[in-house]
Amino acid sequence: MLTPPRTVVRREAGLYALERALQRRGFRHVAGADEAGRGACAGPLVAAAAVLPEGRRGEIEGLADSKLLTPASRERVYAEVVDRALAYAVVVIPADEVDARGLHVCNLAAMRRALASLTTRPEYVLTDGFGVDGLGVPGLAVWKGDRVAACVAAASVLAKVTRDRLMVELDGVYPAYGFAEHKGYITPEHSAALREHGPCREHRFSYVNVAAVSGRDGRPPRARRPGGHGSDEPMERSWASGGTVGVALGEQPRPPTPVGEDVAMEGGVR
């Protein structure tokens, strides 16, 4: 049996080269998945998946890693992705779920849920950084995938814009923290507000800086949120007709993760 020739995709070949190479090999529908909010200490974790059409229609002007785009550019690219994508899906994991199940577990579960929710079944999956198992189709984890593959960049924009909109909404509920500006990431202003006001129910108590100001430093975090605005039910939001938006609940919770699992802020423009 002859082995098919090896496909080499060079980084300098452009954002669409990897998908085009896979399509030439017979994988017509290539899905990308990415998340936003992994490094934030407040607000939800948001994952998205997208399948772009083949050919010129799938080429979106200005598409890039969401962290490299200005807010205005992200909004414009977001609208183009929603308009052109064969399928897209967004999943929102609230802060208390991140505390209860652990950041990495929630990250993989959210990407898996987003990919499973696509109305066009992907034939190949590209993910940013982390491999996602249990998809039933071949896939590849791509380092800096949102800068290498167009479908991953599209998912990155969907996740980032959705999460930023949610954080602006939360700013109206908890104005003392400045969520609309820093989007829940660790900045000097956010840290000062945490010290002055303590955490709200949308903060992640499994993060070391939140645990420290909550009086839980050095003790395992709890999934129970503090009292305050609204009920104790997890936060849910709906966005953008044409896609699938959900909250990844209903799976068996796992023991809380150690304090300070991830406090690194995502780079680039917020």
- Answer yes or no: is 128 a known binding residue: yes
CB 63 within 8 A of CB 78: no
Consult the annotation and say whether 54 binds a ligand.
Answer: no
Residue 142 parent element (H or E): strand 139-142
Nearest to 139 by CA among 10, 49, 47, 16: 49
Instruction: Report residue 164 as tokens.
Output: 């930023």
**DSSP secondary structure, 157-219, as one string:** HHHHHHHHHHHHHHHHH-GGG-HHHHTT---HHHHHHHHHH---TTB-TTSHHHHHHTT-TTS
User: Of 154, 164, 106, which Cα lies nearest the Cα of 128?
Assistant: 154
For residue 19, the one-letter residue type is E
For 161, phi then psi, to 5°, come to -65, -45
Q: Which residue has the tokens 């900045």?
A: 187
Cα dihedral 121, 125, 126, 131 sign: positive
Q: Is 217 annotated as a binding residue?
A: no
First to last CA, the chain: 51
- Distance of CA 204 to CAs 87, 132, 176, 207, 263, Å? 31, 24, 17, 6, 10
Q: Which residues are annotated as a binding site?
A: 34-35, 128
Q: Which residues are annotated as a binding site for a divalent metal cation?
A: 34-35, 128
